[in-house]
Amino acid sequence: MPVDATKPYVPASTEAPRMPGRPRHRLPPLACDAHCHVFGPYDRFPLQHPSSYAAPDAPVGRYLHMLDTLGAQRGVLVQPAPYGTEAAALLDALAAGGERLRGIAVADPDISDAQLQNLYDGGVRGLRFVEARDPAGRLFPGSVGFDQVAALAPRMRQFGLHAQLWAPSEAYLRHLPALARLQVPLVIDHLGSLASARGPGDAAFALLRGLLADGLVWIKLTVCRVGGAPGYEDARRLHDAFVAANADQVLWGSDWPFVRMGQAAPYADALVDLEYEWLGDDTLRRKVWVDNPARLYGFR
């Protein structure tokens, strides 16, 4: 029977996420995994929109165990599209994690000031906007597009919220010049979704690197969404170029539970070890894992 897209629903089946072992390298104290998602428990937090990927069995308890295994004392949870603007699962997880967690919610311009205050009080520090579309040009169900950022920007400034952006790299060329003038911090997901094979002459890469160097954007170093396993060497040029452009505004995230990746999903401990080696020294490691997320997300 087809899913009624107008009603919350419990997935008929779920997919167990890949759980990490202990990394070979120890993360610095107060290290933060700045990009993960929680899903469920679905009997309490049903999905609001049909999911285009297998629904993960990834409730907050499993997520916190994952963080503990990595040795990450802090984490940032990002609202996944199938929950739309319903933040109950996110807020429940943030409450369970207390001061070690912050969140990124999804909202459209109809949200009230009271609701924005409730999100902030619950640990939310940003709103996510997505410009990924299907072949017919429709946004993924549950997403709020880049065209809504300007309408929300004045209240995002009022409530101390930043904009987290995810899109194919070409969409940044169209939208970022205007978004960068809104005086709202902009956080770019997944290395800007760039294709490393395009080389340093890629216009989207040049734009992102320039905005980062000028302090107008932050970039998440989630290499598993750009490079190829197991070594992700094809993502290293992008990673290193962004770190060199502005090491004070880059963040690291595992992207657990690795939706859409199936058997290609990495182990988060391997991603920690890779980042540890790529960063190369303790000063950079502390910036990327501790100081930068503390400043952006307001960890105490």
Tally of residues, the chain: 300
Q: Which is nearest to 175 in space by CA: 149, 200, 201, 155?
A: 149
Separation in Å, CA 63 to CA 56, 76, 140, 267:
11, 11, 24, 14
Phi, psi of 41 (to 5 degrees): -60, 135
Tell me the three-class secondary structure of 142-197, residue by residue.
CCCCHHHHHHHHHHHHHHCCEEEEECCHHHHHHHHHHHCCCCCCEEECHHHHCCHH
CB 23 within 8 A of CB 69: no
Q: Is 291 a catalytic residue?
A: no
- Of the candidates 92, 255, 269, 281, the residue annotated as catalytic is 255
The residues carrying an active-site annotation are: 255
